Structure 1
Protein backbone atom coordinates (compact mmCIF):
# COMPACT_ATOMS: atom_id res chain seq x y z
CA UNK A 1 0.00 0.00 0.00
CA UNK A 2 1.25 3.49 -0.87
CA UNK A 3 0.96 6.33 1.61
CA UNK A 4 -1.60 8.85 0.32
CA UNK A 5 0.53 11.85 1.31
CA UNK A 6 4.17 10.85 1.13
CA UNK A 7 4.34 8.70 -1.96
CA UNK A 8 5.39 11.21 -4.58
CA UNK A 9 4.97 10.33 -8.23
CA UNK A 10 7.58 11.76 -10.56
CA UNK A 11 7.48 12.50 -14.26
CA UNK A 12 10.43 12.16 -16.62
CA UNK A 13 10.93 14.77 -19.33
CA UNK A 14 13.36 14.85 -22.23
CA UNK A 15 14.59 18.20 -23.52
CA UNK A 16 17.41 18.24 -26.08
CA UNK A 17 18.71 14.77 -25.18
CA UNK A 18 18.72 15.52 -21.43
CA UNK A 19 16.44 13.72 -18.96
CA UNK A 20 14.72 15.50 -16.06
CA UNK A 21 12.85 13.64 -13.31
CA UNK A 22 10.67 15.92 -11.20
CA UNK A 23 7.61 15.69 -8.92
CA UNK A 24 4.51 15.35 -11.07
CA UNK A 25 2.20 17.12 -8.62
CA UNK A 26 3.89 20.49 -9.28
CA UNK A 27 2.89 20.18 -12.93
CA UNK A 28 -0.62 18.93 -12.17
CA UNK A 29 -1.35 21.70 -9.67
CA UNK A 30 0.27 24.52 -11.59
CA UNK A 31 -0.95 23.92 -15.13
CA UNK A 32 -4.27 23.01 -16.67
CA UNK A 33 -2.33 21.66 -19.65
CA UNK A 34 -0.45 19.10 -17.55
CA UNK A 35 -3.40 18.43 -15.26
CA UNK A 36 -5.48 17.36 -18.25
CA UNK A 37 -2.61 15.39 -19.74
CA UNK A 38 -2.06 13.44 -16.52
CA UNK A 39 -5.77 12.57 -16.18
CA UNK A 40 -5.18 9.82 -18.71
CA UNK A 41 -4.89 6.55 -16.74
CA UNK A 42 -1.26 5.59 -16.11
CA UNK A 43 0.30 2.53 -17.68
CA UNK A 44 3.90 1.39 -17.41
CA UNK A 45 4.60 2.40 -21.01
CA UNK A 46 3.05 5.86 -20.74
CA UNK A 47 5.25 8.77 -21.74
CA UNK A 48 6.89 10.35 -18.72
CA UNK A 49 6.66 7.21 -16.62
CA UNK A 50 10.40 6.43 -16.64
CA UNK A 51 13.76 7.18 -18.28
CA UNK A 52 13.08 4.73 -21.10
CA UNK A 53 9.81 6.47 -21.92
CA UNK A 54 10.25 10.20 -21.21
CA UNK A 55 7.75 12.88 -22.07
CA UNK A 56 9.48 14.57 -25.01
CA UNK A 57 9.51 18.36 -24.88
CA UNK A 58 10.18 19.13 -28.51
CA UNK A 59 11.09 21.84 -29.51
CA UNK A 60 11.73 23.10 -25.94
CA UNK A 61 15.35 24.02 -25.28
CA UNK A 62 17.13 22.32 -22.38
CA UNK A 63 18.28 25.67 -20.96
CA UNK A 64 14.75 27.12 -21.01
CA UNK A 65 13.42 24.03 -19.22
CA UNK A 66 16.23 24.16 -16.63
CA UNK A 67 15.41 27.79 -15.91
CA UNK A 68 11.71 26.99 -15.69
CA UNK A 69 12.43 24.23 -13.16
CA UNK A 70 14.70 26.56 -11.14
CA UNK A 71 11.74 28.89 -10.66
CA UNK A 72 9.26 26.08 -10.06
CA UNK A 73 11.43 23.95 -7.78
CA UNK A 74 13.99 26.26 -6.11
CA UNK A 75 14.40 23.92 -3.13
CA UNK A 76 15.65 21.14 -5.42
CA UNK A 77 18.64 23.12 -6.69
CA UNK A 78 22.01 22.00 -5.39
CA UNK A 79 23.34 25.55 -5.29
CA UNK A 80 21.80 28.98 -4.75
CA UNK A 81 19.85 30.19 -7.75
CA UNK A 82 20.47 33.62 -9.22
CA UNK A 83 17.72 34.34 -11.70
CA UNK A 84 18.22 37.34 -13.96
CA UNK A 85 16.31 38.74 -16.91
CA UNK A 86 17.23 35.92 -19.33
CA UNK A 87 16.23 33.25 -16.81
CA UNK A 88 12.87 34.87 -16.08
CA UNK A 89 12.22 35.27 -19.82
CA UNK A 90 12.56 31.48 -20.15
CA UNK A 91 10.12 31.05 -17.26
CA UNK A 92 7.67 33.49 -18.89
CA UNK A 93 7.96 31.67 -22.21
CA UNK A 94 7.19 28.21 -20.81
CA UNK A 95 4.68 29.29 -18.18
CA UNK A 96 2.70 31.06 -20.90
CA UNK A 97 2.93 28.08 -23.24
CA UNK A 98 1.85 25.57 -20.58
CA UNK A 99 -0.62 27.85 -18.73
CA UNK A 100 1.14 27.97 -15.36
CA UNK A 101 -0.79 31.00 -14.09
CA UNK A 102 1.07 31.59 -10.81
CA UNK A 103 4.54 31.00 -12.25
CA UNK A 104 3.70 33.30 -15.15
CA UNK A 105 2.58 36.00 -12.71
CA UNK A 106 5.85 35.59 -10.78
CA UNK A 107 7.92 35.85 -13.97
CA UNK A 108 6.08 39.00 -15.04
CA UNK A 109 6.65 40.49 -11.59
CA UNK A 110 10.40 39.84 -11.81
CA UNK A 111 10.55 41.21 -15.35
CA UNK A 112 8.50 44.38 -14.79
CA UNK A 113 11.66 46.48 -14.55
CA UNK A 114 13.50 44.77 -17.39
CA UNK A 115 15.89 46.92 -19.33
CA UNK A 116 14.92 46.60 -22.97
CA UNK A 117 14.42 49.02 -25.82
CA UNK A 118 10.75 50.12 -26.11
CA UNK A 119 10.20 48.41 -29.48
CA UNK A 120 11.55 45.15 -28.06
CA UNK A 121 9.25 45.56 -25.05
CA UNK A 122 6.28 45.83 -27.43
CA UNK A 123 7.33 42.65 -29.24
CA UNK A 124 7.78 40.74 -25.96
CA UNK A 125 4.43 42.07 -24.70
CA UNK A 126 2.67 40.92 -27.86
CA UNK A 127 4.34 37.52 -27.83
CA UNK A 128 3.54 36.75 -24.18
CA UNK A 129 0.31 38.77 -23.89
CA UNK A 130 1.45 41.23 -21.20
CA UNK A 131 -0.78 44.27 -21.65
CA UNK A 132 1.09 46.46 -19.14
CA UNK A 133 4.33 46.13 -21.11
CA UNK A 134 2.52 46.84 -24.36
CA UNK A 135 1.21 50.13 -22.98
CA UNK A 136 4.63 51.02 -21.53
CA UNK A 137 6.42 50.23 -24.78
CA UNK A 138 4.01 52.18 -26.97
CA UNK A 139 4.00 55.12 -24.54
CA UNK A 140 7.81 55.29 -24.56
CA UNK A 141 7.86 55.15 -28.36
CA UNK A 142 5.26 57.91 -28.69
CA UNK A 143 7.14 60.15 -26.21
CA UNK A 144 10.53 59.48 -27.80
CA UNK A 145 11.99 62.77 -29.11
CA UNK A 146 13.93 61.24 -31.98
CA UNK A 147 12.76 59.66 -35.21
CA UNK A 148 12.29 55.91 -35.16
CA UNK A 149 15.48 53.97 -35.77
CA UNK A 150 15.87 51.44 -38.56
CA UNK A 151 15.87 48.72 -35.91
CA UNK A 152 12.62 49.97 -34.39
CA UNK A 153 11.02 50.13 -37.84
CA UNK A 154 12.16 46.61 -38.67
CA UNK A 155 11.07 45.27 -35.29
CA UNK A 156 7.61 46.86 -35.24
CA UNK A 157 6.72 46.89 -38.92
CA UNK A 158 5.44 49.68 -41.15
CA UNK A 159 1.81 49.55 -40.00
CA UNK A 160 2.70 50.03 -36.32
CA UNK A 161 5.25 52.77 -37.08
CA UNK A 162 2.63 54.71 -39.10
CA UNK A 163 0.15 54.45 -36.22
CA UNK A 164 2.81 55.64 -33.76
CA UNK A 165 3.67 58.66 -35.96
CA UNK A 166 -0.04 59.56 -36.04
CA UNK A 167 -0.24 59.35 -32.23
CA UNK A 168 2.76 61.69 -31.96
CA UNK A 169 0.98 64.40 -33.95
Structure 2
Protein backbone atom coordinates (compact mmCIF):
# COMPACT_ATOMS: atom_id res chain seq x y z
CA UNK A 1 0.00 0.00 0.00
CA UNK A 2 1.42 3.39 -0.98
CA UNK A 3 2.29 5.67 1.90
CA UNK A 4 0.15 8.78 2.10
CA UNK A 5 2.09 12.02 2.28
CA UNK A 6 0.00 13.78 4.90
CA UNK A 7 1.13 15.80 7.93
CA UNK A 8 0.19 14.16 11.23
CA UNK A 9 -3.16 15.27 12.52
CA UNK A 10 -4.13 17.13 9.35
CA UNK A 11 -7.92 17.30 9.09
CA UNK A 12 -8.49 20.30 6.79
CA UNK A 13 -9.96 19.79 3.35
CA UNK A 14 -7.47 20.22 0.49
CA UNK A 15 -7.66 23.43 -1.51
CA UNK A 16 -6.44 24.35 -4.96
CA UNK A 17 -3.20 26.30 -5.20
CA UNK A 18 -4.28 28.25 -8.24
CA UNK A 19 -0.86 29.19 -9.64
CA UNK A 20 0.08 25.50 -9.72
CA UNK A 21 -3.31 23.99 -10.52
CA UNK A 22 -3.04 23.93 -14.27
CA UNK A 23 -5.69 23.58 -16.90
CA UNK A 24 -4.17 22.66 -20.25
CA UNK A 25 -5.05 23.92 -23.69
CA UNK A 26 -4.07 22.63 -27.13
CA UNK A 27 -2.85 25.12 -29.73
CA UNK A 28 -2.12 24.41 -33.38
CA UNK A 29 0.58 26.69 -34.78
CA UNK A 30 1.70 25.90 -38.30
CA UNK A 31 1.92 22.11 -38.38
CA UNK A 32 2.73 21.82 -34.66
CA UNK A 33 0.42 20.90 -31.82
CA UNK A 34 1.20 22.32 -28.37
CA UNK A 35 -0.50 21.15 -25.18
CA UNK A 36 0.42 23.66 -22.49
CA UNK A 37 -0.98 25.14 -19.26
CA UNK A 38 -3.14 28.09 -20.14
CA UNK A 39 -2.49 29.93 -16.86
CA UNK A 40 0.45 31.99 -18.11
CA UNK A 41 -1.42 32.95 -21.25
CA UNK A 42 -4.21 34.32 -19.07
CA UNK A 43 -1.82 36.00 -16.61
CA UNK A 44 0.43 37.60 -19.22
CA UNK A 45 -1.86 38.39 -22.13
CA UNK A 46 -4.96 40.55 -22.17
CA UNK A 47 -5.81 38.98 -25.51
CA UNK A 48 -5.86 35.41 -24.16
CA UNK A 49 -7.43 36.47 -20.86
CA UNK A 50 -10.35 37.79 -22.88
CA UNK A 51 -10.46 34.66 -25.02
CA UNK A 52 -10.50 32.26 -22.09
CA UNK A 53 -12.87 34.46 -20.13
CA UNK A 54 -15.66 33.64 -22.58
CA UNK A 55 -17.79 30.70 -21.33
CA UNK A 56 -16.89 27.49 -23.14
CA UNK A 57 -19.43 25.63 -25.27
CA UNK A 58 -19.20 22.77 -22.76
CA UNK A 59 -21.28 24.84 -20.38
CA UNK A 60 -24.07 24.79 -22.96
CA UNK A 61 -23.98 21.01 -23.29
CA UNK A 62 -21.65 20.72 -26.28
CA UNK A 63 -19.22 17.80 -26.14
CA UNK A 64 -16.34 19.09 -28.26
CA UNK A 65 -14.56 22.08 -26.80
CA UNK A 66 -12.00 23.99 -28.83
CA UNK A 67 -8.55 23.59 -27.33
CA UNK A 68 -9.25 20.46 -25.30
CA UNK A 69 -7.90 17.88 -27.73
CA UNK A 70 -5.50 17.35 -30.63
CA UNK A 71 -8.53 16.81 -32.83
CA UNK A 72 -10.01 20.20 -31.95
CA UNK A 73 -7.17 22.59 -31.09
CA UNK A 74 -7.23 26.36 -30.96
CA UNK A 75 -5.71 27.25 -34.32
CA UNK A 76 -3.44 30.30 -34.30
CA UNK A 77 -3.48 31.26 -37.96
CA UNK A 78 -0.67 33.28 -39.48
CA UNK A 79 1.95 32.40 -36.85
CA UNK A 80 5.04 30.21 -37.11
CA UNK A 81 5.86 27.18 -34.98
CA UNK A 82 9.40 28.42 -34.24
CA UNK A 83 8.11 31.74 -32.93
CA UNK A 84 5.61 30.03 -30.64
CA UNK A 85 8.27 27.65 -29.29
CA UNK A 86 10.50 30.61 -28.42
CA UNK A 87 7.63 32.29 -26.57
CA UNK A 88 6.91 29.12 -24.60
CA UNK A 89 10.57 29.01 -23.58
CA UNK A 90 9.94 32.27 -21.70
CA UNK A 91 6.46 31.49 -20.39
CA UNK A 92 7.30 27.94 -19.32
CA UNK A 93 11.09 27.57 -18.95
CA UNK A 94 12.16 23.95 -18.63
CA UNK A 95 15.28 22.65 -16.91
CA UNK A 96 16.86 22.56 -20.37
CA UNK A 97 16.25 26.24 -21.03
CA UNK A 98 17.27 27.17 -17.49
CA UNK A 99 20.55 25.25 -17.55
CA UNK A 100 21.71 25.55 -21.15
CA UNK A 101 24.83 27.60 -21.59
CA UNK A 102 23.23 30.52 -23.38
CA UNK A 103 19.96 32.37 -23.06
CA UNK A 104 17.61 32.62 -26.00
CA UNK A 105 19.50 33.75 -29.07
CA UNK A 106 18.73 36.91 -31.02
CA UNK A 107 16.34 35.21 -33.44
CA UNK A 108 14.41 33.57 -30.59
CA UNK A 109 14.16 36.81 -28.64
CA UNK A 110 12.93 38.56 -31.78
CA UNK A 111 10.22 35.90 -32.02
CA UNK A 112 9.31 36.52 -28.38
CA UNK A 113 9.16 40.27 -29.00
CA UNK A 114 6.94 39.78 -32.04
CA UNK A 115 4.36 37.56 -30.35
CA UNK A 116 4.38 39.39 -27.00
CA UNK A 117 3.70 42.65 -28.81
CA UNK A 118 0.94 41.11 -30.91
CA UNK A 119 -0.72 39.45 -27.92
CA UNK A 120 -0.22 42.28 -25.42
CA UNK A 121 2.09 40.34 -23.10
CA UNK A 122 3.57 43.42 -21.48
CA UNK A 123 6.04 41.80 -19.06
CA UNK A 124 7.28 39.35 -21.67
CA UNK A 125 7.72 42.19 -24.16
CA UNK A 126 9.81 44.17 -21.65
CA UNK A 127 11.94 41.09 -21.03
CA UNK A 128 12.62 40.62 -24.75
CA UNK A 129 13.52 44.28 -25.28
CA UNK A 130 15.84 44.29 -22.27
CA UNK A 131 17.60 41.12 -23.39
CA UNK A 132 18.03 42.30 -26.98
CA UNK A 133 19.28 45.71 -25.83
CA UNK A 134 21.70 44.38 -23.26
CA UNK A 135 23.23 41.24 -24.69
CA UNK A 136 23.13 41.56 -28.47
CA UNK A 137 24.80 44.12 -30.71
CA UNK A 138 21.90 45.06 -32.92
CA UNK A 139 22.99 46.86 -36.07
CA UNK A 140 21.46 50.27 -36.79
CA UNK A 141 19.42 48.72 -39.60
CA UNK A 142 18.16 45.93 -37.30
CA UNK A 143 17.17 48.49 -34.66
CA UNK A 144 15.19 50.52 -37.19
CA UNK A 145 13.45 47.45 -38.63
CA UNK A 146 12.58 45.99 -35.21
CA UNK A 147 11.47 49.38 -33.91
CA UNK A 148 9.04 49.87 -36.78
CA UNK A 149 7.72 46.34 -36.60
CA UNK A 150 7.26 46.23 -32.81
CA UNK A 151 7.03 49.85 -31.60
CA UNK A 152 10.34 50.50 -29.80
CA UNK A 153 11.08 54.23 -30.11
CA UNK A 154 14.52 54.11 -28.47
CA UNK A 155 15.76 51.71 -31.13
CA UNK A 156 14.39 53.87 -33.92
CA UNK A 157 16.20 56.97 -32.62
CA UNK A 158 19.42 55.06 -31.93
CA UNK A 159 19.47 53.38 -35.34
CA UNK A 160 18.72 56.54 -37.31
CA UNK A 161 21.23 58.59 -35.32
CA UNK A 162 23.98 56.08 -35.93
CA UNK A 163 23.31 56.10 -39.67
CA UNK A 164 23.32 59.90 -39.75
CA UNK A 165 26.71 59.71 -38.03
CA UNK A 166 27.84 57.50 -40.94
CA UNK A 167 28.45 54.44 -38.80
CA UNK A 168 28.59 52.17 -40.63
CA UNK A 169 29.27 54.08 -43.83
CA UNK A 170 26.78 52.87 -46.42
CA UNK A 171 26.51 53.77 -50.08
CA UNK A 172 23.24 55.39 -51.22
CA UNK A 173 22.12 52.08 -52.76
CA UNK A 174 22.95 50.12 -49.60
CA UNK A 175 21.12 52.67 -47.46
CA UNK A 176 18.03 52.54 -49.66
CA UNK A 177 18.04 48.73 -49.63
CA UNK A 178 18.34 48.73 -45.84
CA UNK A 179 15.78 51.30 -44.74
CA UNK A 180 13.73 52.20 -47.80
CA UNK A 181 13.90 55.11 -50.22
CA UNK A 182 12.10 57.74 -48.13
CA UNK A 183 14.11 57.12 -44.97
CA UNK A 184 17.36 56.87 -46.94
CA UNK A 185 16.65 60.25 -48.56
CA UNK A 186 15.98 61.87 -45.20
CA UNK A 187 19.13 60.39 -43.67
CA UNK A 188 21.20 61.64 -46.61
CA UNK A 189 19.71 65.12 -46.16
CA UNK A 190 20.51 65.09 -42.44
CA UNK A 191 24.10 64.09 -43.18
CA UNK A 192 24.48 67.09 -45.47
CA UNK A 193 22.79 69.39 -42.97
CA UNK A 194 24.99 68.15 -40.16
CA UNK A 195 28.20 68.52 -42.17
CA UNK A 196 27.29 71.98 -43.47
CA UNK A 197 26.66 73.19 -39.92
CA UNK A 198 30.07 72.00 -38.67
CA UNK A 199 32.03 74.75 -36.96
CA UNK A 200 35.81 74.63 -36.62
CA UNK A 201 37.58 76.43 -33.76
CA UNK A 202 41.35 76.72 -34.08
CA UNK A 203 43.72 77.63 -31.31
CA UNK A 204 47.03 79.37 -31.61
CA UNK A 205 48.92 76.16 -32.33
CA UNK A 206 48.82 75.37 -36.06
CA UNK A 207 47.12 72.09 -36.92
CA UNK A 208 45.16 71.90 -33.71
CA UNK A 209 41.55 72.78 -33.23
CA UNK A 210 38.11 71.73 -32.09
CA UNK A 211 35.35 70.49 -34.38
CA UNK A 212 31.79 71.11 -33.22
CA UNK A 213 28.98 69.45 -35.14
CA UNK A 214 25.24 69.67 -34.80
CA UNK A 215 23.93 66.83 -32.64
CA UNK A 216 22.69 64.06 -34.92
CA UNK A 217 20.18 62.84 -32.36
CA UNK A 218 18.52 66.25 -32.25
CA UNK A 219 18.28 66.32 -36.03
CA UNK A 220 16.74 62.84 -36.06
CA UNK A 221 14.16 63.73 -33.42
CA UNK A 222 13.14 66.84 -35.33
CA UNK A 223 13.00 65.23 -38.78
CA UNK A 224 11.25 62.02 -37.70
CA UNK A 225 9.12 63.70 -35.03
CA UNK A 226 5.77 62.46 -36.31
CA UNK A 227 6.87 58.83 -36.54
CA UNK A 228 8.62 58.93 -33.16
CA UNK A 229 5.63 60.55 -31.44
CA UNK A 230 3.28 57.93 -32.87
CA UNK A 231 5.60 55.15 -31.75
CA UNK A 232 5.89 56.57 -28.23
CA UNK A 233 2.09 56.83 -28.00
CA UNK A 234 1.68 53.16 -28.90
CA UNK A 235 4.48 52.18 -26.50
CA UNK A 236 2.62 53.74 -23.59
CA UNK A 237 -0.01 51.03 -23.80
CA UNK A 238 2.71 48.46 -23.04
CA UNK A 239 4.11 50.34 -20.05
CA UNK A 240 7.74 51.44 -19.57
CA UNK A 241 10.41 49.26 -21.18
CA UNK A 242 13.30 48.44 -18.86
CA UNK A 243 16.71 49.38 -20.18
CA UNK A 244 20.00 47.73 -19.22
Say whether the fold is shared (TM-score over 0.5).
yes
CA distance in 2, matches of 1:106, 1:144: 30
Structure 1 SS opposite 2:25: strand
Question: Offset at 1:48?
Answer: 1.3
Higher mean displacement: 85-94 or 149-158:
149-158
Structure number, greater radius of gyration: 2
Structure 2 unpaired stretches of 5+: 1-13, 194-244
Question: Offset at 1:76?
Answer: 6.4
CA distance in 2, matches of 1:61, 1:73: 18
2:27 is the alignment partner of 1:13: yes
CA distance in 1, matches of 2:98, 2:186: 48
2:190 is the alignment partner of 1:167: yes
Segments of 4+ moved more than 4 angstroms? 76-79
Deviations 1:117-137 (A, max 9, x none): 312321111101011111110
* Aligned-residue CA RMSD (Å): 2.1
CA distance in 1, matches of 2:170, 2:71: 57
2:177 is the alignment partner of 1:154: yes
TM-score, length basis structure 2: 0.63
Question: Offset at 1:79?
Answer: 7.4
| Residue matched to 2:124 | 103
Structure 1 SS opposite 2:94: helix
For residue 144 of structure 1, the aligned residue among 166, 170, 173 is 166
Structure 1 unpaired stretches of 5+: none
| Residue matched to 2:142 | 120
User: Number of residue pairs matched?
Assistant: 168
TM-score, length basis structure 1: 0.88
